[in-house]
Chain A
Amino acid sequence: MKKNWKHKAYAIASALTVGAMMMGGVGQAFAKTNVVKHSVKHASGPVVHLQETGSTLLWPLFQLWVPVYKHVNSKVDLTTAGTGSGVGISQASDGTVQIGASDAYMSNRLLSQHPGMLNIPMAISAQQIMYNIPGVKKGVHLHLTGNVIAQIYLGKIRYWNAPQIQSLNKGVKLPHWMIVPIHRTDGSGDTFLFTQFMTDTNAAWSNSVQYGTSVSWPAIKGALGANGNNGVVALASKTPGSIAYVGISWLNNGLSEGLGEAALQNRAGRYLLPNPGTIAAAANMMIGKTPADERTSLIYAPGANSYPIINYEYAIINEKQANPATATAVKNLLLWAISPQGGNKAVFMDKVHFLPLPASIAPLSRKQIAKIHG
């Protein structure tokens, strides 16, 4: 009997070891077959793995791009991840990924620490303010100003029927419901855009919180944090009384989850929703001041028809890539992405409510892309 279990134990032990070895090996073998498969299809050169991470605002667009780009260039395997613009910036600078996606451009100081980093606009995007207020009918767009939103996020306005909000919305019956401000926990380009807008519209904000991809949020009881635009939408939809800033590629998702969308007061005093017309109007006012390195804010544009929160969607790239093959793959992908016949096509842009890169800006981006080398 005793011998029996010993044998059994041995059998199991060795079977497991062999099994583990095989399983470990299988992964490698699969990788091999994939490589072989692709290289058969395209006789020249091996498959290049590219890693994209960052902005959750840009991520839905990448999700649309990936399957299409597979047909454009089957030799590139592209992994995308919506992790927040902060991750996009830091991991691209670190060299742990090739492509960082960000709604925010890099700061001067960070750029001087990583001098080879490029901030390449690929499209124009916007951000809307969304809310979940019990009793407010669907389709009603609350009027909000940057100043009022700032006071909400500063904890100065705590209830939805506060006079400051009610006076902007005469026809709407607002409930006496506690406001739950939702912010992003991850380093976020959306936070960057939102806090820039707050800084432009509220003096107290510009003196205290200021702007950045991650800021120190004023202490408000019950205020919540969430990870990514996806997390924000999910949390806002299950939190009555909440208000949140959401990237426009998540607008459809937010609306279908039952969130309301605010009409924001622009610099000219008009209340507007983000749509191709108001985003383009704002872009027209702002893009003229785009410098050669393309790092510029498009927030709070002048003009009667300008929506106040728009921005460039950046690819954050190190101009020195690991090897020439990777550099070429990154270049080709970016050139395709900003091309009106490629990634900037209306079929992609319309789904995420982005605007294609303006014709006057595309040459600047192409010039930066040309700097990428192996």
Chain B
Amino acid sequence: MHGSTTMRGYSRKIASNMTWMLSLGALLLVVIVVLDILITVVRQGAGGISLSLFTTQTTGIAGGLQNAILGTLDLIFFSTLFAGPVGIMGGIYLAVFAPDRIARTLRFVAEVLAGIPSIVIGYFGYTMMVQAFGWGFSVLAGSISLSILTLPYIVRTTEASIRQVPKSYYEGALALGLTPFSALRTVVMRPATPGIVTGLLLAISIGLGETAPLIYTAGWSNFNPTLHLTKNPIGYLTYVVWTYLNEPYSSAHRLAYTAALLLIILVVILHLLARFLQPRVKG
């Protein structure tokens, strides 16, 4: 082919092929790592999946994970309840109303907030919510900490999905005599919804996997969540992975792996759902 008749061409071709080999090798290694993580978790965690896992609470070293599963859902529920509306509305403002410079600044701030190490939020949650506000270890302190973490993602994805809706839809609706508000509601928000939901799902999957901001805000409980928003500590799955792994009891070990497996399964489900929605946004 082109230029391959010379020696130099040959060596360049070899160099090119070798780099591609290296790249494929890198890809292979990444795949191996993913598989190793999955295998490590599945091998020791799959045996723990049973009905009683979902129906019994932990005793501290054995038992089920009902309290942690429900606690995680509870925390996710409230953090989505807080961060969802705020983030979506914020995203709408950035995409539709905000002057360029303000939008750019706020976007940057959201990015910084997203980049803050989660333990810093944990510290903040502990000194302010747990101590100063007197909420103690609680669903409220834990879920607000989580919502601080996930809020920027929701803002970002909402803004991005609205921006993908062609401006002409909006302008056309205005030309038809709709007010800006109802034009937005009818022709902009509808096509943007799958993207926004995708963002919510990813935010949920981020919140699901957090530990550091919860240790000092949600605490831990061996029992199912209570109806109280404050003063009542709550269990969650990542805590099980983090602490039970250190226990010298095989039953506790198994629970740690099973909790890790549950977390991965939940993340996979959320990603699949998000994927299911995503290509249709673009197409």
A–B contact at 8 Å CB threshold (below) = yes
**A residues whose Cβ falls under 8 Å from a Cβ of B:** 5-6, 8-10, 12-13, 16, 20-21, 23-24, 26-28, 30-32, 34, 49, 51, 63, 66-67, 77-81, 94-97, 227-228, 230-231, 233-234, 250, 253, 257, 322
Complex Cα–Cα for A233 and B247 (A):
10
B73 and A228 within 8 A (CB): no
Min CB–CB distance A73 → chain B (angstroms): 15
Q: Which residue from A10, A31, A234, A322 sits with its C-beta under 8 Å from B248?
A: A234
The distance in angstroms between the C-alpha atoms of A28 and B243, with both chains bound, is: 25
In the bound complex, residues from chain B placing their C-beta under 8 Å from that of A77 are 222-223
| Closest A residue by C-beta to B143 | A24
List which B222-255 residues lie within 8 A (CB) of chain A: 222-227, 231-233, 243, 246-248
Contacts of A63 in B (CB 8 A): 59-61
Answer whether A96 and B74 are a contact pair too, CB < 8 Å, given A9-B193, A12-B197, A228-B246: no
Decide yes or no: A96 and B197 within 8 Å by CB, A20-B76, A49-B232 being known contacts: no
The interface on chain B, measured as residues whose beta carbon lies within 8 A of the other chain's beta carbons, has a size of 44
The answer to whether A96 touches B130 (Cβ under 8 A) is yes
Q: Are A13 and B194 in contact (CB under 8 A)?
A: yes
Q: Which residues of B contact A234 (CB under 8 A)?
A: 246, 248
Given contacts A23-B73, A81-B220, contact A96 B137 (CB under 8 A): yes
Q: A31 with B227: in contact, given A9-B277, A79-B220 (CB under 8 Å)? A: yes
Q: How far is the CA of A27 from the CA of B75 in the complex (A)?
A: 10
Count A-B contacts at CB 8 Å: 116
User: What are 23 A-to-B residue pairs whose CB atoms are below 8 Å?
Assistant: A5-B280, A6-B193, A9-B193, A9-B197, A20-B77, A24-B73, A24-B74, A26-B70, A27-B73, A28-B226, A51-B219, A66-B60, A79-B221, A79-B223, A81-B220, A96-B233, A97-B137, A97-B219, A230-B246, A230-B248, A234-B246, A253-B248, A257-B248
Residues in B with CB closer than 8 Å to A96 are 130, 136-137, 219, 233
Q: B residues within 8 A CB of A6? A: 190-191, 193-194
A87 to B243, alpha carbons, bound, how many Å? 14
CB distance from B243 to the nearest CB of A (A): 8
Contact B222 A80 (CB under 8 A): yes
B window 77-97: CB within 8 A of A = 77-78, 80-81
Q: Is the CB of B193 within 8 A of A79?
A: no
Interface residues of B in 190-204 (CB under 8 A from A): 190-191, 193-194, 197, 200-201
Q: Are A27 and B248 in contact (CB under 8 A)?
A: no
Q: How far is the CB of A231 from chain B (nearest CB, A)?
A: 5
Give Cα A78–Cα B57 distance, bound, in whole angstroms.
12
Residue pair A49, B223 in contact (C-beta under 8 Å): yes
Q: Does B108 contact A (CB under 8 A)?
A: no
Q: Is the CB of B220 within 8 A of A27?
A: no
Measured between beta carbons, the chain B residues less than 8 angstroms from A66 are 59-60
- B233 in contact with A67 (CB, 8 Å): no
Cβ distance B57 to chain A, nearest Cβ, rounded Å: 9
Q: Does B70 contact A27, Cβ atoms closer than 8 Å?
A: yes
